[in-house]
Chain A
Amino acid sequence: MKSCRLNLLLAALAAALCACGSDSPSVDSPQDTTSISTEPLTSAACPAVNFGKRPAPLTLTAATPPALQVFGVGNETGRYTAEVAARGTTAYTTTWGARTAVGNKIDIWDVSGATPTLVDSVIVSGASTLGDVAVSDDGKLLVVATERSGGSIVIFDLTDPRHPRQISRFTNQETDPGVHTAEIGRVNGKLYAFLSIDPVGSIHAKLVIVDLSDPANPQQVYSKVAGNPYVHDTFVRDGLLFVALWDDGVEIWDIGGCGTGATPAAPRVLGNVHTVGGQVHNIWWFHDASGGKRFAFVGQEGPGSIGSSSAGDIHVVDISDPTAPKEVGFYHVDGAGTHNFSVDEANGVLYAAYYNGGVRAIDVRGDLKTCLPSQQNFTTGGNITRCDLRLMGREIGVGLVELNRGVYVWGVQYLGGTIYASDMVNGIWKLKAAK
Chain B
Amino acid sequence: MQAIPLVTPADPTATRSILTEGYLTQPMLMAHAGWRSLHGVLTLNFEGLTQERGELTTGAYGEGYVDRRHPHAYVHELLAGVEDSVRGTHLSLYAGRGFAPFGSDDPMVRPFEKYPVNHHLAQILERVLVVGAARVGPVIGELGVFNGDEPLSPGSPPRYSRFGDSWSSRLTYLPVRFVELAASIAQVKSPEVPDGHGLDQKKYDVYSRYDRRTADSRVYGLLEWAHTNEHASGAISTSLSSWMGEAAVCKRDAMAGVRLEGADRPEEERLADPFRTPRPASDLSNLGVSHWTTLTVALTAPRLVAKSFSARPFVEAARIHAGRGDPPGLFDADLRYGTSSMWMYSLGVRLKVGTIHDRMGRYGAAVVPEPGTGNGSNGSHNMPGMVMPGHSTNSVCTL
- Residue numbers of A with Cβ under 8 A of B are 80, 97-100, 102, 128-129, 148-149, 177-178, 180, 198-202, 204-205, 228-230, 232, 246-247, 277-279, 281, 301-311, 424
Which of B235, B270, B282, B335 is the one whose CB lies under 8 Å from A199? B282
- CB-CB contacts below 8 Å: B131-165 with A: 152-153, 156
A57 CA to B233 CA in the complex, in Å?
A: 32
Closest CB in chain A relative to B193 CB, distance in Å = 5
B330 and chain A: residue at smallest CB distance: A307
Jot down 7 A-B pairs with beta carbons below 8 A, ordered by A: A98-B274, A180-B282, A279-B232, A302-B237, A303-B237, A308-B327, A311-B235
Contact between A302 and B284 (Cβ–Cβ < 8 Å)? yes
A230 CA to B269 CA in the complex, in Å?
A: 17
B237 and chain A: residue at smallest CB distance: A303
- Top 4 nearest A-B pairs (CB, nearest first) are A303-B237, A308-B327, A149-B272, A303-B284
- Please indicate which of the listed interface residues A202, A279, A306 has the most CB atoms of chain B within 10 Å of its own CB: A306
Known contacts: A202-B152, A202-B194. The answer to whether A279 contacts B284 by CB under 8 A is: yes
Contact between B152 and A304 (Cβ–Cβ < 8 Å)? no
Closest CB in chain B relative to A335 CB, distance in Å = 11
Size class of the B contact interface (CB-based, 8 Å): 35 or more
Q: Quick check: is B107 within 8 A (CB to CB) of the other chain?
A: no
Residues of B within 8 A of A178 (CB): 278, 282
Residues of A within 8 A of B195 (CB): 199, 204, 228-229
A434 CA to B193 CA in the complex, in Å?
A: 40
Bitwise interface map of B from 173 to 217 toward A, beta carbon under 8 Å scored 1, else 0: 000000000000000000001111111000000000000000000
Closest CB in chain A relative to B362 CB, distance in Å = 30
A277 CA to B289 CA in the complex, in Å?
A: 25
Q: Quick check: is B252 within 8 A (CB to CB) of the other chain?
A: no
Residues of B within 8 A of A180 (CB): 282
Closest CB in chain A relative to B338 CB, distance in Å = 11
Closest CB in chain A relative to B24 CB, distance in Å = 25
A198 CA to B78 CA in the complex, in Å?
A: 33
Which of A149, A246, A301, A308 is the one whose CB lies under 8 Å from B329? A308
Contact between B285 and A305 (Cβ–Cβ < 8 Å)? yes
Residues of B within 8 A of A306 (CB): 285-288, 329-330
Contact between A229 and B286 (Cβ–Cβ < 8 Å)? no
A435 CA to B288 CA in the complex, in Å?
A: 36
- Residue numbers of B with Cβ under 8 A of A are 152-153, 156, 193-199, 230, 232-233, 235, 237-238, 269-272, 274, 278-280, 282-289, 327-330, 335
Contact between B269 and A304 (Cβ–Cβ < 8 Å)? no
Which of B196, B230, B232, B279 is the one whose CB lies under 8 Å from A201? B279
Known contacts: A302-B233, A306-B329. The answer to whether A202 contacts B156 by CB under 8 A is: yes
Beyond contacts A201-B156, A202-B194: 11 other A-B pairs, Cβ-Cβ < 8 A, are: A148-B271, A149-B271, A201-B279, A229-B196, A229-B198, A230-B282, A305-B287, A305-B328, A307-B288, A307-B330, A424-B330
Known contacts: A201-B153, A202-B194, A303-B232. The answer to whether A232 contacts B285 by CB under 8 A is: no
Known contacts: A200-B279, A228-B195, A232-B283. The answer to whether A305 contacts B270 by CB under 8 A is: no
Which of B193, B279, B335 is the one whose CB lies under 8 Å from A100? B335
A230 and chain B: residue at smallest CB distance: B282
A305 and chain B: residue at smallest CB distance: B329
A356 and chain B: residue at smallest CB distance: B327
Closest CB in chain A relative to B6 CB, distance in Å = 27
Which of A128, A301, A307, A311 is the one whose CB lies under 8 Å from B271? A128
Closest CB in chain B relative to A80 CB, distance in Å = 7
Contact between A232 and B284 (Cβ–Cβ < 8 Å)? no
B159 and chain A: residue at smallest CB distance: A202
Residues of B within 8 A of A278 (CB): 197, 233
Closest CB in chain A relative to B340 CB, distance in Å = 16
A229 and chain B: residue at smallest CB distance: B195
Contact between A200 and B197 (Cβ–Cβ < 8 Å)? no
Known contacts: A149-B271, A228-B195. The answer to whether A305 contacts B284 by CB under 8 A is: no
Which of A98, A204, A279, A309 is the one whose CB lies under 8 Å from B270? A98
A80 CA to B329 CA in the complex, in Å?
A: 13
B285 and chain A: residue at smallest CB distance: A304
Which of B196, B237, B282 is the one whose CB lies under 8 Å from A311? B237
A197 and chain B: residue at smallest CB distance: B282
Closest CB in chain A relative to B201 CB, distance in Å = 12
A310 CA to B288 CA in the complex, in Å?
A: 11
Known contacts: A97-B287, A180-B282. The answer to whether A229 contacts B233 by CB under 8 A is: no
Residues of A within 8 A of B197 (CB): 228-229, 246-247, 278
Residues of B within 8 A of A149 (CB): 271-272
Residues of A within 8 A of B274 (CB): 98
A280 CA to B137 CA in the complex, in Å?
A: 53
Contact between B238 and A305 (Cβ–Cβ < 8 Å)? yes
Contact between A301 and B335 (Cβ–Cβ < 8 Å)? no
Which of B153, B199, B269 is the one whose CB lies under 8 Å from A97? B269
Residues of B within 8 A of A99 (CB): 330, 335
A302 CA to B280 CA in the complex, in Å?
A: 16
Contact between B328 and A307 (Cβ–Cβ < 8 Å)? yes
A277 CA to B284 CA in the complex, in Å?
A: 13
A308 and chain B: residue at smallest CB distance: B327
A305 CA to B195 CA in the complex, in Å?
A: 23
B236 and chain A: residue at smallest CB distance: A303
Contact between B285 and A229 (Cβ–Cβ < 8 Å)? no
A246 CA to B235 CA in the complex, in Å?
A: 18
Closest CB in chain B relative to A296 CB, distance in Å = 21
Residues of B within 8 A of A129 (CB): 269
Closest CB in chain A relative to B54 CB, distance in Å = 15
A127 CA to B263 CA in the complex, in Å?
A: 32
Closest CB in chain A relative to B348 CB, distance in Å = 30
Residues of B within 8 A of A202 (CB): 152, 156, 194
Closest CB in chain A relative to B139 CB, distance in Å = 38
Residues of B within 8 A of A177 (CB): 278
A98 CA to B271 CA in the complex, in Å?
A: 9
Residues of A within 8 A of B279 (CB): 200-201
A307 CA to B327 CA in the complex, in Å?
A: 9
Residues of B within 8 A of A277 (CB): 233
Contact between A307 and B287 (Cβ–Cβ < 8 Å)? yes
Known contacts: A229-B197, A247-B197. The answer to whether A198 contacts B282 by CB under 8 A is: yes
A229 CA to B196 CA in the complex, in Å?
A: 7
A134 CA to B57 CA in the complex, in Å?
A: 40
Closest CB in chain B relative to A12 CB, distance in Å = 37
A80 CA to B195 CA in the complex, in Å?
A: 30
B286 and chain A: residue at smallest CB distance: A305
Closest CB in chain A relative to B209 CB, distance in Å = 34
Residues of B within 8 A of A204 (CB): 195
A292 CA to B276 CA in the complex, in Å?
A: 48
A104 CA to B238 CA in the complex, in Å?
A: 29
Closest CB in chain B relative to A229 CB, distance in Å = 4
Contact between B278 and A200 (Cβ–Cβ < 8 Å)? yes
A329 CA to B282 CA in the complex, in Å?
A: 26
Residues of A within 8 A of B233 (CB): 277-278, 302
Which of B156, B193, B327, B329 is the one whose CB lies under 8 Å from A229? B193
A304 CA to B329 CA in the complex, in Å?
A: 9
Closest CB in chain B relative to A151 CB, distance in Å = 11
- Please indicate which of the listed interface residues A277, A305, A308 has the most CB atoms of chain B within 10 Å of its own CB: A305
A80 CA to B287 CA in the complex, in Å?
A: 12
